[in-house]
Chain A
Amino acid sequence: MESYYLFSNGELKRKDNVVRLTAPDGKFKDLKVEMTREIFLFGEVSLNTKCLNYIGQLGIPVHIFNYYGFYSGSYYPRESNVSGELLVAQVTHYADEKRRHDIAVQFVESASFNILRNLRYYRQREKDVDEAMSEIKSLRKKIAKTADIQELMGIEGNIRKVYYQAWQAIINQEIDFEKRVKRPPDNMINTLISYVNSLVYSSCLTEIYKTQLNPAISYLHSAGERRFSLCLDIAEVFKPLIADRLIFSMLNKNIITEKDFEREANFCYMKKEARQKILQAYDLRMKETVKHRDLGRSVSYRHLMRLECYKLIKHLMNDKEYEGFKIWW
Chain B
Amino acid sequence: MYIILIYDIAQDNGGAKVSRNIFKICKKYLTHVQKSVFEGEITPPLLVKLRMELDKYIRDEEDSIIVFSSRQERWLEKEFWGVPDEKTSNFF
Hey, which bits of chain A sit against chain B, CB under 8 A? 2-8, 16-18, 21, 23, 29-30, 32-35, 276, 279-280, 283
Contacts and interface: CB of A to CB of B under 8 A. Distances in A.
B27 to A, nearest CB: 5
Nearest to B87: A29
Interface stretch (B5-13, B29-37, B55-63, B76-84): B29-37
Given A30-B32, A32-B29, A32-B31, A4 B46 contact: no
Most buried by A among B41, B49, B90: B90
B91 interface: yes
Contact of B27 (A3, A4, A18): A18
Contacts of A3: 90
Contacts of B41: 2, 35
Contacts of A21: 92
B51 to A, nearest CB: 13
Contacts of B29: 32, 34-35
Given A5-B92, A17-B27, 14 more contacts: A2-B41, A2-B90, A7-B92, A8-B92, A16-B23, A17-B24, A17-B25, A18-B28, A21-B92, A30-B32, A32-B27, A32-B31, A34-B49, A35-B41
20 contacts: A2-B41, A3-B90, A4-B90, A6-B92, A7-B91, A16-B24, A17-B25, A17-B27, A23-B92, A30-B31, A32-B28, A32-B29, A32-B30, A34-B28, A34-B46, A35-B40, A35-B42, A35-B46, A279-B91, A280-B91
A57 to B, nearest CB: 13
Given A32-B40, A35-B42, A5 B27 contact: no
Interface residues of B, number: 18
Given A34-B46, A35-B41, A4 B28 contact: no
A4 B92 contact: yes
A17 B90 contact: no
Interface of B: 23-25, 27-32, 40-42, 46, 49-50, 90-92
A23 B92 CA distance: 9
A8 B91 CA distance: 9
Contact of A283 (B23, B30, B90, B92): B90
A165 to B, nearest CB: 35
Contacts of A280: 91
B28 A33 contact: yes
Contacts of A35: 29-30, 40-42, 46
Nearest to A16: B24
Contacts of A6: 91-92
A287 to B, nearest CB: 10
A17 B27 CA distance: 8
In this complex, the member of A2, A16, A21, A34 whose beta carbon has the largest number of chain B beta carbons within 10 angstroms is A34
B36 to A, nearest CB: 15
A21 B29 CA distance: 17
B4 to A, nearest CB: 14
Given A30-B32, A34-B29, A5 B42 contact: no
B32 A5 contact: no
A4 B40 CA distance: 14
A276 B91 CA distance: 8
